[in-house]
Amino acid sequence: MRRARVIAIWLILMGAGLIQAAAASDRPDPAPDASVAVPEPTPRAVHYYYTGLGLWVARKLWAFAVPVVWIVGGAAAALGRKVRRLPYLAAVFAFTGGYELITALLNLPWTIYLGFLRPRDYGLGTQPLGDFLADQLKSLALGLVLTWAAVGGVYFLLRRYPRRWWIWAGLAVVPISLGLTFVVPIWIDPLFHEYGPLADRKLEAQILELAARVGAGDAEVYQVDMSRETRAVNAYVTGLLGTKRIVLWDTLLERLAPDEVLAVVGHELGHYVLNHVPLGVLVGSGLTFIGLGAVATMARRVVPTLTARYGITRLDEPASLPVLLLLAQAVSFLLMPIGYAVSRRIEHEADRFALELTHDNNAAARAFVALQQTNLGYPRPGLLSTLLRSSHPSLADRIEFCNRYRPWSEGRPLAYERFLNRSGQTPSSDSAAPR
């Protein structure tokens, strides 16, 4: 009898469980306006964040220490004497090449740990060591060519215009930056990754339909094979004019649901149609112009004090390169919070654009949750970390913004529709309908 009662209770519980499961299967998916909670970071994510803070401080100190050692240790003056007999620009190129190669060797432990070992320790890295080192060699070669061009131009101006060199260099930053932005997607990016159309044709059609609704029907969308390097997820807009494109990591396409991918694409379309890429270039160029003026002012005062002690006699001699780089790093550190603040504002505008375009706040919030969980994100960084390190709003702020922002329910005009009206375009008839 006792066994019979146990069996009866077990059958009742099983029946109740089946009924509950059936009811759960009939429940609709979360409504587009359902709130999404900000998840607490995992212990691994917390550890990743705080060790990252320590590494960031150590890396900054190291970056300042390297040119100081070159100056104080006499290596800059010694190498400057060796190249002095060469023609001027050849001497500049020789000194720059030696400095960059030796500094790259000094930085090699940092490069391997931060780019290869640390991502693997936290389950993010997937790239074999041989491929990683091959990419680093390509980056070094490419960086050396660009550095030669930049440093050669600066020293040419230093000798030609000793007091106003920074003005001409600053003015040259804008066309050079815009030119690089144009060519990077077609000449440089393919050196490191393979780009192609989306494997999911249905999703690609949905993305193109979304783009057409905001007058960006000519947008090119690419899938890139980032899974060969990482398990992290991301997407971005790159290029200028004819090379402008939206790039989705294949890891993002694998990890996120289609509606979450569309929310991410809405964000990238915000960057695309609001011309955030050229805006970012212009802001960066403006800060660079200010920074060059500050470097020039400080260098005129600093170099004379180095003559007797460290053998650096003139600002236009190649041996002054570590001095200029040290001053540039100091000025960049002071100006970087401004650049980050502008970037966070731009990213917030793209978030708002995505919500106004898709009306799928729930999908956007879930996409940020997936970003946090996959990339070991820390949702609420401190104020100092935000000011000095964050180019995007915090994940907690972005999720909470998705939960509360619904201007269409208040009858307010949408920002992206105002943009289309200003540009002479007309939103499609279904652009204001919640998805």
| pLDDT tens digits, 337-357 | 999 999 999 999 999 999 999
Q: Round to the nearest angstrom and report the end-to-end CA distance of the chain.
A: 58
pLDDT of 388 > 70? The answer is: yes
All residues at 6 or more sequence positions from 156 whose CB lies less than 8 Å from its CB, including other chains = 89
Average per-residue pLDDT for the chain: 86
pLDDT of 311 reads 86
pLDDT of 299 > 60? The answer is: yes
Alpha helix positions (H), 43-86? 43-72, 75-83
74-103: average pLDDT: 95
147-176: average pLDDT: 94
- β-pairing, 245-249 vs 235-238, is antiparallel
Between these two residues, 348 and 428, which has the higher pLDDT value? 348
All residues at 6 or more sequence positions from 323 whose CB lies less than 8 Å from its CB, including other chains = 67, 71, 76, 299, 302, 303, 306, 312, 315
d(CA 398, CA 277) in angstroms, rounded, equals: 21
Between these two residues, 418 and 37, which has the higher pLDDT value? 37
Between these two residues, 185 and 3, which has the higher pLDDT value? 185
CATH number assigned to the domain covering 195-274+341-422: 3.30.2010.10
pLDDT of 15 reads 41
pLDDT of 308 reads 66
Domain positions in the chain are 43-191+278-335, 195-274+341-422
pLDDT of 376 > 80? The answer is: yes
pLDDT of 117 reads 97
Q: Which amino acid is at 151?
A: V
pLDDT of 430 > 50? The answer is: no
Positive/negative CA dihedral, 361, 363, 369, 374: negative
φ, ψ of residue 429 to 5 degrees: the values are: -65, -20
- β-pairing, 245-249 vs 220-224, is parallel
Task: Give the confidence band of 197 by pLDDT, cuts at 50, 70, 90.
Answer: very high
pLDDT of 137 > 90? The answer is: yes
Contact 174, 285 (CB under 8 A): yes
> What confidence tens digit (pLDDT) does each residue in 207-239 have?
989 988 888 877 889 999 999 999 999 998 888
pLDDT of 435 > 50? The answer is: no
150-158: average pLDDT: 95
pLDDT of 415 reads 58
pLDDT of 181 > 50? The answer is: yes
pLDDT of 304 > 70? The answer is: yes
> What confidence tens digit (pLDDT) does each residue in 16-25 have?
333 333 333 3
Residue 333: which H helix or E strand, with range?
A: helix 321-358
pLDDT of 56 > 90? The answer is: yes
Phi-psi region of 241 (alpha: psi -120 to 50; beta: other; left: phi over 0): left
310-332: average pLDDT: 92
360-378: average pLDDT: 95
Per cent of the chain over pLDDT 90 is 70
312-331: average pLDDT: 93
The b/e string for 301-311 (b: 16+ C-beta within 10 A; e otherwise) is: ebbeebeeebe
